[in-house]
Chain A
């Protein structure tokens, strides 16, 4: 097996298979009035992702982690647990928003700590930290609302596309490990899609979104802070993930589900292409003959 085939197998295909298997078990075993409950979704996503993380960059060598990439392993566990907590606790939106805000502020402070007072000084350090945390929180909160307003395939499909396309953006921005971890998020989120084609009454829910937005959000924060990837590229990825809003437009709402999903996917692909193409051109222009 070639190097790239190995990376694809261990970092995407097998993790997707793990998530798929756990989802089947959890959705079949725990139902309420015939509809699967979603507390198993973040756990299924996390198991697939953690396997991929282990294969791509290994397990953290210390706790608390010393390295920004290693934090992703720990945070994947934290946000998976958070997803389960969201399922069993208050459904009041404001309370959930407040909880997510505390979570992202604390996590981003821990992860960005080595840069504060070092690379970023004084007020600039606080500004970077709070700006990244705010962006992350806003994106997570919007995705949680989308998952409630647009049930069905659109949200997980678009998130999977954005994580996959974002993986290429990160690859062409000098970060292969974050690229592969983003690809792992794409793979495990994408594993939901065939299941949802089969069982149309299930959705990703705010539980699954908690995992995807938690891990992918930190991948993006790390990309901006540590690689560094230009902020506009990450902002464009976040915008690309908002296309499920289109399903709420009055002219699209009454249309068949497959049409809505197709419109969302095509719009996402267009926005992704708008960020991927210039990133690729910049990469090729400066890459020379470097092929890893």
Chain B
């Protein structure tokens, strides 16, 4: 009797430990309000001009025990480009640059995630701009974890990488308007 009682306590204890352990892979939805997608491009080989996209959505699956099972899918509304000048924004939306009527979204889908160190992973994936898909690689750093005021679990990442716009068919204005575009993405995402 005593042995049975001890065994059942042991099993219950083990089960509760297992349940209390976080699920390996967790999916987060990108919070567009607290996510920034900023880019910079050199103007007339002189100064960097910065702009951003105001509508970024997507999801991130994080598997801390096995980062290879993590993934990222991001969608950007190309018409949400903003450079603090309406005329320039309209020009960026035109076929000279993003051609947003034909290509309304910019997308990124990861193909491989590899841990670099405790807070950094290397993400490889396919970036599609203006209908052209090219592989890109970026180191992504965990910037924090916590809970938002509503009690929802949130997680933050940041990455900076550089692309050549000409590789995506955006060749207008070269070389006066630089080919290299440095992109910084800072994401806050809430657990589903």
Contact = CB atoms under 8 A, between A and B. Distances in A.
Do the two shown chains form a genuine complex with each other? yes
Interface of A: 3, 56-58, 61, 66-70, 114-115, 118-119, 174-178, 222, 225-228, 283, 286-290, 292
B161 interface: no
Nearest to B84: A288
A58 B171 CA distance: 7
B91 interface: yes
A283 B101 CA distance: 21
Given A57-B171, A61-B169, A115-B102, A288 B86 contact: yes
Closest 9 CB pairs of A and B: A66-B131, A290-B87, A287-B87, A114-B102, A58-B171, A177-B96, A174-B90, A290-B88, A174-B94
B144 interface: no
A3 B131 CA distance: 29
Nearest to B90: A174
Contact of B132 (A66, A178, A292): A66
A76 B104 CA distance: 27
Nearest to B172: A177
B95 A286 contact: no
Contact of B95 (A61, A67, A288, A289): A67
Contact of B86 (A61, A119, A225, A286): A286
B96 A67 contact: no
Given A66-B131, A67-B99, A222-B95, A176 B173 contact: yes
B106 to A, nearest CB: 14
Nearest to B169: A61
B130 interface: yes
B130 A119 contact: no
B117 interface: no
Interface residues of B, number: 26
B10 interface: no
A174 B102 contact: no
B131 A174 contact: no
A174 B131 CA distance: 21
Contacts of A175: 91, 94-96
Contacts of B44: 3
A226 B171 contact: no
Interface string B156-178: 00000000001001011100110
A74 to B, nearest CB: 14
A67 B85 CA distance: 25
29 contacts: A3-B176, A58-B171, A66-B130, A66-B132, A67-B102, A67-B131, A68-B99, A69-B99, A70-B169, A114-B103, A115-B101, A115-B102, A118-B104, A119-B104, A174-B91, A174-B93, A174-B94, A175-B91, A176-B172, A176-B173, A177-B95, A222-B95, A225-B101, A226-B95, A226-B101, A228-B101, A290-B85, A290-B87, A290-B91
